[in-house]
Amino acid sequence: MASYVIARLLSQALSIEPTPKDIQRILVLISGSGTNLQALLDASLPGQIIHVLSNRKSAFGLTRAANAGIPTSYHNLLSYKSRYPTDEEARAAYDAELAALILAQQPDLVVCAGWMHILSEAALRPLKEKGVDIINLHPALPGCFDGKDAIQRAWSAFQQSEITETGIMIHHVIGAVDRGEPIIVRKVDMREGESVEELEARMHAIEHEAIVEGTKLVLEERLRR
């Protein structure tokens, strides 16, 4: 079943209307409200957002994309867990079909803009083989607070006098979580008496700038290759 779906999705790529060669095609992965997606939509990018994909059906980012006239799709892991005997098999099948969904849109760049799902090699390898770059926004400095809840964990560490700063990075995606080569790094000073909600608000404002800048840098680098 999985191989059939992958073959069908890849065949759909043949019917996609091509864009001029110098226009880079961007696919965005989201899981939530899509504020980072909105920052990309509002920016003047050297590329075109051609599709938005979410692993959550209720993600408001899908509405943002639809309002901007951008096609969307939904791809959730839960159904795979009921179809395969182990979580490992379910995950491998999910990621393989995720890669097929992405490649069917023929993107040049995939931007993880609040994508709350770890991408395994089953998803990353096919993209790499096709020359598709994939980048991610992570609200922490390189090597710090990898994975989820990074802002909250940084705030707690500051309360324990373990750190004095945190940050934002845009990085290339590899199999190791949040360990890919950084493209953009922004340091953020911690503030005495600041609530975790206030820190989140400051971080999100910086995220919106960084994701646009990082996306532009990668697109411009692709044009120089």
H or E segment to which residue 28 belongs: strand 24-30
Q: Among the options 138, 171, 172, 208, which is catalytic?
A: 138
Alpha-carbon distances of 121 from 2, 60, 78, 142, rounded to whole Å: 17, 28, 19, 21
CA–CA distance, 87 with 137 (Å, rounded to integer)? 26
H or E segment to which residue 74 belongs: strand 72-74
**Token pair in block for residue 89:** 């098999």
The set of residues, in sequence order, having a beta carbon less than 8 Å from that of 207 and lying 6+ positions away, is: 35, 36, 39, 137, 139, 168
Q: Is 117 a catalytic residue?
A: no
CA–CA distance, 133 with 114 (Å, rounded to integer)? 17
Q: Contact, 90 vs 30, CB < 8 A?
A: no
CA–CA distance, 137 with 86 (Å, rounded to integer)? 30
The set of residues, in sequence order, having a beta carbon less than 8 Å from that of 178 and lying 6+ positions away, is: 136, 138, 140, 146, 147, 171
The residue to which tokens 């003047």 are assigned: 44
The residues annotated with a catalytic role in the active site are: 138
